[in-house]
Structure 1
Amino acid sequence: MPTLSDPIEMLRPPVLRFGAGQIDRLADWMSQQGYRNPVVVADPVNAARLQVLGLGQVNCFGTVVPEPNIDNLNAAVNAADGADCVIGFGGGSAMDLAKLVAVMAGQNVTLGDISGPHRAPPRRLGLVQIPTTAGTGSEVGTRALVTDPGTQAKIATESQHMLADLAIVDPALTYSVPPFVTAATGVDAMAHCVEAFTSKRAHTIIDSYALQGIELVGKYLRRAVEDGSDAEARAGLSLAALYGGVCLGPVNTTAGHAVAYPLGTRHHLAHGIANALIFPHVLALNAPAAADKTQAICNALGFDANGSQAVLAGANEFCEALGLDMRLRAHGVPEDDLPAMATEAHAIRRLLDWNPVDLSVADIQSIYRAAY
């Protein structure tokens, strides 16, 4: 069990601006810092609304893809030639690429040179992160993930040099997110909090952020799905995602994300829905090993935690009430790939080693079959 005296290190952007309308302060900050040639890293949807940044004509790499791979990263790095600041504008994929672009541009390094922990060089460019979904919390973190197209494995890079100079969390930027994406990314934000809360390396400080994040999702996610213009609900979810990002730094995720990753890398499910599909099963499986914390999670989400089956049923119902089809087969995952997915997920030791329950390949395959 974690104690208050356990050591912990928490890194945060030196400037974090939260609240509706905060995007309007970006241009002044850029001017104050002397940045005159920024490049925006965005997905096509956000690349089509660059005017909200208030920067006028601005260079943009606007083809970030879901679950970006090394080719997508290298194209983004090339697009940043001559830039003095990188702006990540979008969901976790855009912000993760922005982090990597900021440390790679002009440095003559490859992803292989910097992947892993603490290998990235000090960046020469400024870095701003602006989330447009309430999901990953990547805006406050130091990690980035891209997929190796050859192995279909996610490559993790972590460095304090990938921490943003400025993070702007403006809930108004999420109003246009459609219900399905709102639901899936909201469950992803909650999963960050839940997995950190129940992790073997959980910490009392992080537990406070985690539980608040879960409570915010329980209170606001369904409201935001039902009415995307609900300003209070959108702000609550943006804060939940931010808290989830806080949890990722010193603690990180566990089995839920490890089991979800092959759904994205092998079958191109978006990160949010992949984690939503797995969340109820891992929560229930971990319940006996984290009984008190599971009870707190279920209370926050409004369902009963009296036994693993009740946890599984309650978590499934919570997600289904958001309009999510919780069957893997409904999302195009082929049944004959479940064994290979289980083997691949089991190899993600950087996450699985911290899960409260040790999972075998057979255990993971059972999760997939139960979710199928």
Structure 2
Amino acid sequence: MNVPSSLLAPSLAAPISIIRPRIVEFGSGALRAAARFAKAENCRRILVVADAFNAGRIDALGLPGEVAVFGEVRPEPDVPNLEAAIRRAEEVEPDLVIGFGGGSAMDIAKLVAALAGSGQRIADVVGAEKVAGRRARLMQVPTTAGTGSEAGTRALVTDPASQNKLAVQSVHMLADIAIVDPDLTLSLPPAVTAASGVDAMAHCVEAFTSRKAHPLIDMYALEGTRLVGRYLSRAIRDGSDVESRAGLSLASLYGGFCLGPVNTTSGHAVAYPLGTRHHVAHGAANALVFPHTLAFNAPAAPEKTAAVLEALGLRAGRNEGEVLEAAHRYCADLGCEMRLSALQVPREDLGAMAREAHAIRRLLDNNPRPISEAEILAIYEAAY
């Protein structure tokens, strides 16, 4: 992979810390590693944390011993959903917690493994490195190719009172083993494939163009973007194409590698209120927002923006308008909904959404170009 040296030079000597799951099993059939790990670690009480669909197929994990299930993880899970999962874990007292599903299930699994029986509550651990420890082992098994949550140490839940995301980061939430088997994604319908693929790509692109970008992460970020450009439309056309599913699973994993040391920027900040206030699926929200924030940031990162467009197979734009047009057409051609109005977001809520997005400083402070509340509102208006 050739990355122009001009893209790497500014941060080449900057210090960075990289952590990964102790074991990463990747590829078709990798799911067999779940039973091997549980047996090797002598795990006797296992709790699988899943959404309703995946709770119905936990037999695929082939687990030994006593297996309990919390199968009620909701999309965009909130604090009450987390607390219900913690209560279930405190009944089971598991020695192994497994996140089995998309990012929501894996994030809840992280928090359950860290908080159940600890005496700490979610309010005690919001922020960085406030988790006291972890008793159970943690396995993550993604069934979508988007969030990359299996690779990282962050978890997000929605506070229903404030309608904001609560972000927790801790080394104690890093998986002991991440099992990425693209066969588990073969049943994903085209719309979910498209939205989750754009989410993986957004993780990579935002990390690549971030003020905190680093060459050690750039290689994952740019290659993850290239994988999405190469395989996403193929997987949408033919969901049984195992090679394209594997390419997207790898892109998602690379996106997860980007999140820990660098994280996302304005794209995710602008997308979050769509999920917390209006229950728009996270991937769909990112797809709608992505062209607008890529174009907004283009003047501050022109070379990297051109590299992103090239990685997606698009002609590099010379200005914000051309970047917006190219990226918008790319997402629309994937079948993503690109209008807020079609997602039942009321126009009168756009101002409150802009205020909430602008307050997410943990992401916006990474953005390569300062963005005001008024500019965020303008993005919502343009996307309406």
In structure 2, the residue matched to 1:281 is 292
Matched residues in 2 for 1:177 and 1:79: separation? 28
Matched residues in 2 for 1:301 and 1:307: separation? 17
Equivalent runs, 1:290-329 vs 2, <5 Å: 290-304=301-315, 305-329=317-341
- How far residue 202 of structure 1 moved from its aligned partner, in angstroms, is 0.4
> Which stretch shows the higher mean deviation, 268-277 or 305-314?
305-314
In structure 2, the residue matched to 1:34 is 42
Matched residues in 1 for 2:11 and 2:354: separation? 34
In structure 1, the residue matched to 2:4 is none
- How far residue 356 of structure 1 moved from its aligned partner, in angstroms, is 0.9
Q: Match of 2:83, as an amino acid?
A: N
- How far residue 3 of structure 1 moved from its aligned partner, in angstroms, is 2.9
* Equivalent residue for 2:121, pick from 99, 106, 110: 110
In structure 1, the residue matched to 2:63 is 55
Secondary structure of 2:11 counterpart: coil
In structure 2, the residue matched to 1:353 is 365
- How far residue 268 of structure 1 moved from its aligned partner, in angstroms, is 0.3
Question: Does the 8 Å contact 1:2/1:204 carry over to 2?
Answer: no
Secondary structure of 2:47 counterpart: strand
In structure 2, the residue matched to 1:3 is 11
Q: TM-score, normalised by structure 2?
A: 0.96
Gaps of 5+ in 2: 1-8
Pairing 1:14–2:22 present = yes
Pairing 1:336–2:345 present = no
Identity of aligned residues (%): 60
Matched residues in 2 for 1:319 and 1:20: separation? 28
Matched residues in 2 for 1:354 and 1:109: separation? 29
Show structure 1 runs of 4+ deviating over 3 A: none
Question: Does the 8 Å contact 1:2/1:202 carry over to 2?
Answer: no
Question: Does the 8 Å contact 2:11/2:213 carry over to 1?
Answer: no
In structure 2, the residue matched to 1:259 is 270
Equivalent runs, 1:90-169 vs 2, <5 Å: 90-169=101-180
Secondary structure of 2:110 counterpart: helix
In structure 2, the residue matched to 1:24 is 32
Matched residues in 2 for 1:83 and 1:161: separation? 16
Secondary structure of 1:205 counterpart: helix
- How far residue 2 of structure 1 moved from its aligned partner, in angstroms, is 3.5
Pairing 1:370–2:379 present = no
- How far residue 118 of structure 1 moved from its aligned partner, in angstroms, is 0.3
Matched residues in 1 for 2:39 and 2:217: separation? 35
Pairing 1:46–2:58 present = no
- How far residue 306 of structure 1 moved from its aligned partner, in angstroms, is 2.1
Q: TM-score, normalised by structure 1?
A: 0.99
- How far residue 84 of structure 1 moved from its aligned partner, in angstroms, is 1.2
Q: Deviations over 1:88-117 (max 9, x none)?
A: 000000000000000111112110111110
Secondary structure of 2:10 counterpart: coil
How many residues matched?
A: 372
In structure 1, the residue matched to 2:76 is 67
Matched residues in 1 for 2:271 and 2:118: separation? 33
Gaps of 5+ in 1: none
Q: Match of 1:21, as an amino acid?
A: G
- How far residue 4 of structure 1 moved from its aligned partner, in angstroms, is 2.4
In structure 1, the residue matched to 2:3 is none
For the aligned residues, what is the CA RMSD? Answer: 0.9
In structure 1, the residue matched to 2:212 is 201
Matched residues in 1 for 2:18 and 2:328: separation? 33
Matched residues in 2 for 1:278 and 1:193: separation? 15
> Which stretch shows the higher mean deviation, 145-154 or 302-311?
302-311
